[in-house]
Amino acid sequence: MIDPDRIPRHVAIIMDGNGRWAKARGLHNLSGHRAGVKTARAILEAAKKLGIKILTLYTFSTENWKRPKKEVESLFKLLESSLAKEVYKLDENDIRFNVIGDIAALPKNLKKKLEDAMARTKNNASFILNLALNYGGRQEIVEAVRGIAREALSGVISPDDIDENIFSEHLYTKGIPDPDLLIRTSGEKRVSNFLLWQISYSEIYITEKYWPDFTENDLVKAVVNYQKRERRFGA
């Protein structure tokens, strides 16, 4: 079913529906998030097996701080414990772990574990796993503008030299190619402030399945659907 010569290099996923998955089963929201972690692990393995080189997972947005305090705290603890278990596997499988977003506002223990995981895997080259944490697309663009403005004021660059390449170099995703394919689970038809600059020409695939129910077969379907499309980039 899959053309090995047309595998999307970079796949980004909005992992939506953990809470609704849990509610439908009469479970606490945290059970949905735990199930979501298992799915993330399985999809990472499946993506690597398919030949995808970069996987970006929308894990915690700047808007997610509006959720109940206990849920946010539980999410961070779950992420911290999961990372402690997974970092060794990531390193053994030559996977570079990366975080995009403002991690300065995250709990100190979690921030330290994230930084340690990035340092441990920084030389791995066969695959990149990006977690978008405390991430917002508008926030990212504003931060990029601030950085460019500071450089222009200090004379490092001229305003006339600012182009798309310079702007991209000031984003969290510096050095990473834009996503070829954006997948959203749970059937919602919006991008939710995710990679607003980077997905300008990404193919979008939406599935009704909640994230915990998303499987390797669903990823294959998304890739097959992607390969049926003609990417003209405005031509």
Residue 230 lies in a domain: no
Token code pair at residue 79? 């992420």
Confidence of residue 230 (pLDDT cuts 50, 70, 90): confident
Residue 48 lies in a domain: no
Predicted pLDDT of residue 168: 97
- pLDDT greater than 80 at residue 211: yes
What pTM, to 2 d.p., does this model score?
Answer: 0.95
98 noted as active-site residue: no
Residue 6 lies in a domain: no
Residue 147 lies in a domain: no
Residue 211 lies in a domain: no
Residue 229 lies in a domain: no
Query: With pLDDT > 70 as the criterion, what percentage of the chain qualifies?
Result: 100
**pLDDT: which is higher, 167 or 235:** 167
pLDDT digit string, tens, across residues 97-141: 999 999 999 999 999 999 999 999 999 999 999 999 999 999 999
Q: What is the DSSP letter of 204?
A: E
State the amino acid at position 141 in one-letter form.
I
Confidence of residue 233 (pLDDT cuts 50, 70, 90): confident
**What's the average model confidence in pLDDT over 7-12?**
98
**Candidates 16, 178, 180, 218; catalytic one:** 16
Residue 59 lies in a domain: yes
178 noted as active-site residue: no
CB 107 within 8 A of CB 76: yes
State the amino acid at position 178 in one-letter form.
D
Token code pair at residue 223? 């890739």
pLDDT digit string, tens, across residues 29-65: 999 999 999 999 999 999 999 999 999 999 999 999 9
- pLDDT greater than 90 at residue 151: yes
Query: With pLDDT > 90 as the criterion, what percentage of the chain qualifies?
Result: 96
**What's the average model confidence in pLDDT over 183-189?**
97
- pLDDT greater than 90 at residue 232: no
- pLDDT greater than 90 at residue 234: no
CB 14 within 8 A of CB 191: yes
Question: How buried is residue 41: exposed, middle or buried, by Cβ count under 10 Å (0-12/13-18/19+)?
Answer: middle
- Structural domain of residue 106, as residue ranges? 55-134
**Candidates 3, 29, 64, 178; catalytic one:** 64
Residue 104 lies in a domain: yes
Residues 55, 13: Cα–Cα separation, whole Å: 8
Looking at the 3D structure of the chain, how many domains does it have?
1
